[in-house]
């Protein structure tokens, strides 16, 4: 029996109750109102749109690079410009697109999937977004004033140190990281607390959707990994601005310490990008195979194991530095072992699809594309785990091929699938399936044409990060092919944008649950009201919308004249207490501006650390200053 499209039938409600709810959750008008928004749907969309713009910028940078490399000894870009562009491409994609877009999707989807009205800390959510935006503006301020970083997205010292990269370029890089990492940590904290404490009643941990599990694992990874990059970027920034000697060998600093601490973050970082995508794939596969996922416990344990093991791999980025052999053997073993957790998930998805009633919509096309591309990338990863092989292909185009296969295949394809899957929920309209499939094929073919030849280029000796290469090396034909592929990807991107823009105005309105999917977000309207659900749902299984309607209970007794949600217990989600959320507030924006002034200024003058702390402290006092009424009505 399929679920009714409008999910939970409403308890006969008074007209006044609904209008109270709408009033409590409405946004304030005007520019000040726009700056004061604290609802998760709006903030999630802001993250997604901003990150998408960053994707376009990073993509433009990639096209510039590929154009330069299409022919040997090309003069389209000189070495300085090329080095700035490849650094900005990597930095933008990793820090300003990939992680934030996953965060934005989570901020949008998680409260809906959990059956609540907002994240646990709405003002922190807003603050995190403004700080992320500040980071984007900060880096691109540098880019457009000829101060783009040019030392690679991981900025190894001593090249990135004060002696070899004078000026402000590397400082912009290092401090942009501070912006985005603080923002990311804010999001991680609120996702964890929302998932732990604000789930629908009776949504015990083993009834959570796999996407929720993936965001829980990812958020914990962020908590433990991002402090490491804060340390790395601070080492670099303080060596450059206040003459410390952490990683600058001139006075006993250790460049290898930088590599260790950077990659202690850097390896989990790629899983931080990739693990939410695994959650997307599970959602898309379940909805379009029209059956429960095969092996839910195995999937959950694989996600958790993936999260843990990812912290034990980092030295495989440093095999060429001459480490003790026993260390190398351990990191080979762990780097290969993580293939097991990914493999289990692939097997479970294939088992689900094998026994499902497959609906071949665009979202599922992207899920299949993900499997094909990611598995290939994962297999080259197993090759790279082997030290002797790595010592040949490390720092060559082979590695570039590998990580684009796992990042684009493993994260971007699921992300596009997620866009097609949840667009109806977010906008109330369906995207064009016809354009969607054309979109998919352009991206799939373009991607493989661009990056598959790079495996060969790497084996044939082409190093990374070279702005040009001689004719006699024979790298020309493959490079040209890769450039053609890059332009095909660009066309695919344009098709996507056209599809989004035209679908937003189309007449193809979407019902609440066009895919007949089982999770709670499909019970809300399309698009959801600011309060998500008129009555918060409860659940009795892993697939609430596949349960018969008469078995679904709703929560009553929450006040609708203020932003009130329900806090439940950690394991079994039994209701514990009611929780009043703040409404719109301008303080997150003010605080973010103060913090941004501190961060941005300290690149030019270390005293800004003090001034910035003072004004940020004042902003935080304003944020938390007690306001009437002090006593909460029951």
Partner 1 sequence: MSELKTLDVSHLPPFDISSQAPVWWGQLCIVFIEGTMFLLLIALYFYTRLQVDVWPPPGEQFPHLLLPSLALIPLFVSAGGSYLASEGAKKNNRGRMIAGMLLNLITGGLFFAMQIIQWHSLNFNWKADINGSYVWAFLSLYHFDLVGDLVFTFVLLVAVIIGRYGEKQRVGIHVDSVVWYFLVLIWIPIYLAIYWGPRIMES
Partner 2 sequence: MTRLHLVWTILCLAILSSCAGHQQSAIDPAGPQSGKIAALWWGFFWLLAVIFAIVMAVMLITLMRRPPSAIENRPPEQAESGLKRTVTAATVITVLLLFVLLIVSVKTGKATADLGKQSSLLTIEVTGNQWWWQFRYMNSDASRILTTANEIHIPVGQPVLIQGRSNDVIHSFWVPNLQGKRDLIPSRVTTEYLQVDNPGVYRGQCSEFCGLQHAHMAFYVIAEPKDKFNAWMQAQLQPAPAPTDPVLEHGRRVFLNYQCIYCHQIRGTTAAGQNGPDLTHFASRRSLAAGVLPNTIGNLGGWIVNPQRIKPGTHMATIAVAPNDLQPLLQYLESLK
CB of 579 to partner 1, least distance (A): 6
Select from 77, 177, 188, 309 the one that contacts partner 1 (CB under 8 A): 188
3-state class (DSSP) for residue 159? coil
Q: Are 488 and 520 in contact (CB under 8 A)?
A: no
152 contacts which partner out of partner 2, partner 1, none, CB within 5 to 8 A by kind? partner 2
CB of 197 to partner 1, least distance (A): 5
Is 617 a residue that touches partner 1 (CB under 8 A)? yes
Structure tokens at 88: 């900005």
CB of 200 to partner 2, least distance (A): 19
60 contacts which partner out of partner 2, partner 1, none, CB within 5 to 8 A by kind? none
Q: Which of 113, 101, 140, 67 is nearest to 207 (CA)?
A: 113
Q: Are 417 and 444 in contact (CB under 8 A)?
A: no
617 contacts which partner out of partner 2, partner 1, none, CB within 5 to 8 A by kind? partner 1
DSSP string, 350-401: HHHHHTS-----HHHHHHHHHHHHHHHHHHHHHHHHSHHHHHHHTTBHHHHH
Select from 516, 525, 547, 564 the one that contacts partner 1 (CB under 8 A): 564
Q: Which of 94-102, 397-405, 472-480, 571-579 is the region at the interface with partner 1 (rule: CB under 8 A)?
A: 571-579
Find the binding residues for partner 1 in span 117-136 (CB under 8 A): 120-121, 124
Question: Containing H/E element for 21?
Answer: helix 15-25
Is 228 a residue that touches partner 1 (CB under 8 A)? yes
Find the binding residues for partner 1 in span 257-296 (CB under 8 A): 257, 260-261, 264
Is 553 a residue that touches partner 1 (CB under 8 A)? yes
Count of beta carbons in the 10 Å neighbourhood of residue 129: 27
Select from 15, 357, 505, 631 the one that contacts partner 1 (CB under 8 A): 631
Find the binding residues for partner 1 in span 238-257 (CB under 8 A): 238, 242-246, 251-254, 256-257
CB of 65 to partner 2, least distance (A): 13
Nearer to partner 2, 460 or 559 (CB): 460
Is 551 a residue that touches partner 1 (CB under 8 A)? yes
144 contacts which partner out of partner 1, partner 2, none, CB within 5 to 8 A by kind? none
Q: What is the CA radius of gyration of the chain?
A: 25
Is 193 a residue that touches partner 1 (CB under 8 A)? yes
Q: What is the rounded CA–CA span in Å between residue 158 and residue 331?
A: 25
Phi/psi at 306 (5° precision) = -55, -45
Nearer to partner 2, 257 or 586 (CB): 257
Select from 337, 435, 554, 615 the one that contacts partner 1 (CB under 8 A): 554
Nearer to partner 2, 53 or 329 (CB): 329
Is 557 a residue that touches partner 1 (CB under 8 A)? yes
Q: Which of 80, 122, 210 is nearest to 532 (CA)?
A: 122
- C-alpha separations of 440 from 6, 367, 409, 454, 615 in Å: 30, 10, 12, 22, 48
Q: What is the rounded CA–CA span in Å between residue 61 and residue 286?
A: 36
CB of 333 to partner 2, least distance (A): 6
Nearer to partner 1, 165 or 219 (CB): 219
Is 31 a residue that touches partner 1 (CB under 8 A)? no
Q: Are 629 and 597 in contact (CB under 8 A)?
A: no
Q: Which of 232, 237, 231 is nearest to 170 (CA)?
A: 237
555 contacts which partner out of partner 1, partner 2, none, CB within 5 to 8 A by kind? partner 1
CB of 499 to partner 2, least distance (A): 20
Q: Which of 378-386, 489-497, 503-511, 567-575 is the region at the interface with partner 1 (rule: CB under 8 A)?
A: 567-575
Select from 297, 322, 324, 626 the one that contacts partner 1 (CB under 8 A): 626
CB of 273 to partner 2, least distance (A): 22
Angle at 234 between CA 232 and CA 240, to 5 degrees: 110
491 contacts which partner out of partner 2, partner 1, none, CB within 5 to 8 A by kind? none
206 contacts which partner out of partner 2, partner 1, none, CB within 5 to 8 A by kind? none
Q: What is the rounded CA–CA span in Å between residue 367 and residue 289?
A: 11
Work out the burial of residue 137: count CB atoms within 10 Å of its CB; fewer than 13 is exposed, 13-18 middle, 19 or more buried: middle
Applying CB under 8 A, the site for partner 1 has a residue count of 76
CB of 105 to partner 2, least distance (A): 25
Q: What is the rounded CA–CA span in Å between residue 17 and residue 534?
A: 9
Q: Which of 171-179, 268-276, 342-350, 574-582 is the region at the interface with partner 1 (rule: CB under 8 A)?
A: 574-582
DSSP string, 180-204: HHHHHHHHHHHHHHHHHH-PPTT--
331 contacts which partner out of partner 1, partner 2, none, CB within 5 to 8 A by kind? none
Nearer to partner 1, 87 or 183 (CB): 183
Q: What is the rounded CA–CA span in Å between residue 428 and residue 503?
A: 10
Find the binding residues for partner 1 in span 304-343 (CB under 8 A): none
Question: Containing H/E element for 67?
Answer: helix 40-69
Letters for 136-175 (x = contact with partner 1 by CB under 8 A, - = none) are ----------------------------------------
Structure tokens at 407: 């990042």
Is 204 a residue that touches partner 1 (CB under 8 A)? no
DSSP string, 100-136: HHHHHHHHHHHHHHHT-SS-S-HHHHHHHHHHHHHHH
3-state class (DSSP) for residue 434? helix
CB of 259 to partner 2, least distance (A): 9
354 contacts which partner out of partner 1, partner 2, none, CB within 5 to 8 A by kind? partner 2
């Amino acid at each position: 029996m399929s679920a009714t499209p409008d999910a939970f039938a409403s308890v006969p409600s008074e007209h006044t109750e609904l209008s109270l709810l709408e009033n409590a959750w409405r946004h304030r008008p005007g520019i000040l109102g726009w700056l004061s928004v604290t609802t998760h749907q709006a903030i999630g969309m802001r993250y997604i749109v901003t990150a998408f713009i960053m994707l376009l910028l990073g993509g433009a940078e990639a096209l510039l690079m590929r154009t330069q490399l299409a022919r040997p000894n090309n003069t389209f870009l000189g070495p300085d410009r090329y080095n700035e562009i490849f650094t900005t491409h990597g930095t933008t994609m990793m820090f300003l697109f990939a992680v934030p877009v996953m965060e934005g999707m989570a901020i949008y989807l998680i409260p809906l999937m959990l059956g609540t009205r907002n994240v646990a800390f709405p003002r922190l959510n807003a603050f995190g977004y403004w700080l992320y935006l500040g980071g984007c503006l900060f880096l691109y301020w540098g880019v457009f004033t000829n101060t783009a970083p040019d030392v690679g997205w991981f900025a190894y010292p001593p090249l990135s140190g004060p002696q070899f990269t004078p000026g402000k370029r590397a400082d912009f890089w290092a401090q942009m990281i501070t912006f985005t990492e603080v923002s990311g940590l804010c999001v991680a904290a609120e996702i964890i607390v929302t998932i732990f404490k604000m789930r629908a009643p009776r949504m015990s941990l083993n009834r959570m959707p796999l996407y929720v599990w993936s965001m829980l694992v990812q958020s914990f990874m962020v908590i433990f990994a991002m402090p490491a990059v804060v340390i790395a970027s601070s080492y670099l920034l303080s060596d450059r601005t206040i003459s410390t000697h952490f990683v600058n060998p001139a006075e006993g600093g250790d460049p290898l310490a930088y590599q260790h601490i950077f990659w202690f973050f850097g390896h989990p970082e790629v899983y931080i990008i990739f693990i939410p995508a695994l959650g997307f794939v599970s959602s898309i596969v379940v909805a379009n195979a029209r059956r429960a996922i095969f092996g839910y416990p195995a999937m959950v344990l694989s996600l958790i194991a993936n999260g843990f093991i990812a912290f034990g791999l980092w030295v495989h980025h440093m095999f060429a530095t001459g480490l003790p052999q026993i260390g190398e053997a351990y990191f080979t073993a762990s780097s290969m072992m993580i293939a097991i957790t990914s493999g289990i998930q692939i097997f479970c998805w294939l088992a689900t699809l094998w026994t499902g009633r497959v609906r071949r919509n665009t979202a599922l096309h992207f899920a299949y594309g993900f499997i094909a591309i990611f598995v290939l990338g994962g297999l080259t990863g197993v090759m790279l785990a082997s030290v002797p092989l790595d010592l040949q292909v490390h720092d060559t185009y082979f590695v570039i091929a590998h990580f684009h296969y796992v990042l684009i295949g493993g994260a971007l394809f699921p992300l596009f699938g997620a866009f097609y899957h949840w667009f109806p929920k977010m906008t109330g309209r369906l995207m064009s399936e016809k354009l969607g499939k054309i979109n998919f094929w352009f991206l799939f073919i373009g991607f493989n044409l661009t990056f598959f030849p790079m495996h060969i280029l790497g084996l044939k000796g082409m190093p990374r990060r070279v702005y040009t290469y001689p004719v006699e090396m024979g790298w020309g034909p493959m490079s040209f092919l890769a450039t053609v592929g890059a332009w095909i990807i660009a066309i695919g991107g344009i098709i996507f944008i056209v599809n989004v823009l035209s679908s937003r105005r189309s007449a193809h309105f979407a019902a609440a649950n066009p895919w007949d999917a089982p999770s709670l977000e499909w019970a809300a309207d399309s698009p959801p009201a600011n309060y998500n659900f008129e009555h918060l749902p409860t659940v009795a299984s892993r697939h609430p919308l596949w349960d018969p309607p008469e078995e679904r209970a709703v929560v009553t007794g929450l006040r609708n004249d203020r932003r009130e949600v329900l806090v439940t217990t950690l394991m079994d989600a039994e209701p514990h207490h009611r929780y009043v959320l703040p409404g719109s507030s301008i303080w997150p924006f003010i605080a973010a501006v103060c913090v941004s002034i501190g961060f941005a200024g300290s690149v030019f003058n270390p005293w800004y650390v003090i001034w910035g702390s003072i004004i940020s402290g004042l902003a935080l006092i304003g944020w938390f200053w007690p306001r009437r009424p002090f006593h909460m009505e029951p």
